């Protein structure tokens, strides 16, 4: 799993899809708004992120 459960690797995905497996560090609301934890995510498509 991710190395930074405190959310320091949080980024917004503006295009594309990821598979994210995490143990905290991000809220359901953040995920619904398009944020991911980059340290816990695997791209499923080409991505564009805003950090």
Contact by Cβ (8 Å): 23, 1: yes
User: Against a cut of 0.75, is the pTM above it?
Assistant: yes
For residue 2, being part of any structural domain is answered with no
Give the total number of structural domains in the chain.
1
pLDDT > 90? residue 37:
yes
pLDDT band at 3 (very low <50, low <70, confident <90, very high): low
pLDDT band at 22 (very low <50, low <70, confident <90, very high): confident
For residue 26, being part of any structural domain is answered with yes
3-state secondary structure of 28: helix
Domain extent for 43:
10-50
For residue 3, being part of any structural domain is answered with no
φ/ψ bin of 16: left (φ > 0), alpha (ψ from -120 to 50), beta (otherwise): left
> Element (H or E) spanning 1, and its range?
none
């Amino acid at each position: 799993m991710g190395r930074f459960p405190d959310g320091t690797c949080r980024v917004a995905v503006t295009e594309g899809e990821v598979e994210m497996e995490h143990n905290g560090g991000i809220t359901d609301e953040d995920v619904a708004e398009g944020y991911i934890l980059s340290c816990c995510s695997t791209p499923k498509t080409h991505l564009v992120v805003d950090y």
